[in-house]
Amino acid sequence: MKRAALYSSSGRPRTGFTPNPTESPRPAKSREGRQNASPVASVRHSRLRQFFIRRKVLMWAAAGGLLGLLLAALHAAMVAPPRPITQHDIDAAVLHTLKTKRLPSPAAMAYDVIRPSVVRVRGLELDPDGDEETERSVGTGVVIVDGGVILTNLHVVAGAQLVKVVFADGLQSDAALVSVQPENDLAVLRARTVPDDLAPATLRSTADLSLGDPVVAVGFPFGIGPSVSAGVVSGLGREYISPQGKRLLTNLIQFDAAANPGNSGGPLVNADGEVVGIVTAILNPSEQRVFIGIGFAVTMESAAAAIGLPPF
């Protein structure tokens, strides 16, 4: 480059450089140009940055997992293992339950089983015009087949012009006399209408029944009920002359659960609610129709023959 004298408008010389006309000025690089100038380096830098970020995240995750394991191990070491349950613990828990919770009585549990199968039996008379019904007898029956077959005493329905039964849910239905067994004072009825969920009773043989076994009588004494009374088996194989039919009844169960007129035909059940007999008569030397502690029931073996079931 040659130095040239430059003069201002005042005539004074100014010094400066003048570019060589043969040389062209070097163009300035823009930001876009610089970025486009090295794309490989930019991609490499981005990948390295992502690699280090991922590695850092993995390191933190590993550190967190290791810390969790250490804390869990420390907690397990500090907490004592559970003590094994012993028989003493079980006995103490049962005793606590017996002391704090009142259990139902055996009679209540037996009644709960037999209750859906017990019915009130009404022997009715009609007036000459057939418009009014008069109750001439009341007794009890027990459903033995879910189709509406009911077992009761013959003396409850004998002489009745119309028989009606009332089920546990309150449904009342006319009933037809299907068969009778006078030697055991038994009658079989069939209800014309039955509840949808009618439950028949479970029948049980008296072969393993012993004196002193608990029994429960369920029925409608004097039309009141259903009533429940509890007692024990007082004797087996008893004989009794029925004051109603003047017949000798044999192979009877003697029991001391309270029974009165209206209980006739009702079930005598064991502690499991299974029917072992049909309440038939009470003994009172004074000839009063009230209970003094001796009742009789027909065994289920005899009752099964009355309804056509095979013997136990």
SS (H, E, C) 81-147: CCCCCCHHHHHHHHHHHHHHCCCCCHHHHHHHHHHHHEEEEEEEEECCCCCCEEEEEEEEEEEEECC
The whole-angstrom separation of Cα 25 and Cα 34 is 19
Closest CA to 281 of 153, 124, 179: 153
CB crowding 235-266: b at 16 or more within 10 Å, else e: eeebebebeebebebeebbbbbbbbbbbbbbb
Tokens of residue 160, six digits: 């009745």
What residues are annotated to the active site? 155, 185, 264
